[in-house]
């Protein structure tokens, strides 16, 4: 039994009936399905009266089964206990999206997450990141899971801005070739969401031993590093039942790179101009462009 539901049962165990036990057994065996179905459907699978699910919900302290189901869905999204799997989280979000349309649901979640970002991150947080990057020798970027997508974009933009940046995320054994010589002038930029990642933690520890400066961009669940980074931005990507936004961390990363251009005395601008010229020169040499 998932812990959050087990706590409810423990508090109200003296009030539960045999029918309640059969319902709870059905919910325990397939918690995802229980969170998606209505009370009548769950009661049918348990072989009890259609109103039994409503009575169970009230004995557990809810107004009715819809409120109990919303509780189960919220825990699906949060990913606790047996509910910690991507299928469960997606199922819960799809269920909630049916109420107002899928696109509207995703847009509302993204907008809410971006609006909340105003109260979580300020210009001072951005400047601390950009000031460290400005003086870096090398910038080693690594992200876990969805953070790897953002790590690729960050390293690409930093290189075009004239900084020696590399994305370690897709590397296997080759990663050692980049990190074995890490030193005090190097900067680690770690990007992590949802839960602690052992690869990122190992890299953080190695960086600390070598004297490298560490930046971390995380959501609250991915925020734990030992030792703590020299600079860290923690921002929620959305609450329960909302899409876990990649727009939020991407907005932060874009702000850091934009602020870097504002303080590096034209380094970024000159590099972008050289990159533009090189790209245009490459196009002029392409077949069909008048070359012989």
pTM summary value: 0.67
Model confidence pLDDT, tens digit, residues 59-111: 888 899 888 888 877 766 555 443 455 555 566 566 655 655 667 767 777 78
| Domain shared by 139 and 231, yes or no | yes
Q: For residue 26, what is the domain's CATH number?
A: 1.10.10.10
- Tell me the mean pLDDT in the region 118-143: 95
The pLDDT confidence band at residue 249, using thresholds 50, 70 and 90, is: very high
Which residues 6+ apart lie within 8 Å of 88 measured at CB?
31, 32, 35, 76, 79
Residue 114, phi then psi, degrees to nearest 5 = -70, -40
Q: Is residue 107 part of a domain?
A: no
Whether residues 18 and 133 share a domain: the answer is no
The verdict on 59 and 94 lying in the same domain is yes
Q: What is the pLDDT of residues 146-195, one digit of tens each?
A: 899 999 999 999 999 999 999 999 988 788 888 988 999 999 999 998 78
In this structure, are 253 and 139 located in the same domain?
Answer: yes
Range of the domain at 158: 122-284
Residues 218-229, buried b or exposed e (16+ Cβ, 10 A)? bbebbbebeeeb
Q: Which of 214, 239, 207, 234 is nearest to 223 (CA)?
A: 234
Residue 292 lies in a domain: no
Could you tell me if 31 and 147 lie in one domain?
A: no
**Co-location of 126 and 87 in the same domain:** no
Has residue 60 been placed in a domain? yes
Assess whether 75 and 168 both reside in one domain. no
Is 115 inside a domain boundary? no
């Amino acid at each position: 039994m998932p812990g959050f539901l087990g706590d409810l049962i423990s508090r109200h165990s003296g009030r539960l009936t045999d029918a309640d036990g059969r319902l709870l057994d059905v919910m325990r065996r397939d918690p995802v399905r229980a969170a998606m179905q209505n009370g009548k459907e769950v009661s049918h699978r348990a072989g009890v009266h259609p109103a039994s699910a409503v009575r169970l919900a009230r004995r557990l302290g809810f107004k009715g089964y819809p409120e109990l189901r919303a509780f189960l869905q919220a825990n699906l999204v949060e990913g606790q206990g047996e509910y910690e799997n991507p299928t469960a989280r997606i199922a819960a979000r799809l269920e909630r999206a049916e109420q107002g349309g899928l696109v509207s649901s995703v847009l509302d979640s993204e907008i809410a997450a971006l609006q909340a970002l105003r109260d979580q991150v300020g210009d001072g947080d951005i400047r601390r990141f950009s000031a460290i990057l400005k003086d870096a020798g090398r910038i080693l970027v690594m992200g876990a899971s969805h953070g790897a997508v953002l790590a690729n974009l960050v390293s690409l933009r930093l290189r075009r801005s004239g900084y020696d940046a590399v994305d370690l995320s897709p590397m296997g054994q080759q990663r050692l070739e980049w990190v074995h010589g890490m030193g005090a002038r190097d900067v680690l930029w770690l990007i992590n969401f949802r839960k602690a990642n052992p690869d990122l933690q190992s890299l953080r520890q190695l960086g600390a031993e070598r004297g490298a400066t560490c930046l971390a961009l995380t959501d609250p669940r991915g925020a734990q590093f030992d030792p703590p980074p020299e600079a860290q931005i923690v921002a929620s990507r959305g609450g329960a039942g909302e899409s876990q936004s990649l727009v939020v961390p991407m907005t932060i990363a874009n702000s850091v790179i934009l602020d870097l251009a504002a303080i590096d005395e034209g380094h970024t601008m000159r590099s972008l101009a050289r990159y533009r010229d090189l790209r245009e020169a490459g196009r002029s040499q392409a077949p069909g462009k008048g070359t012989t």
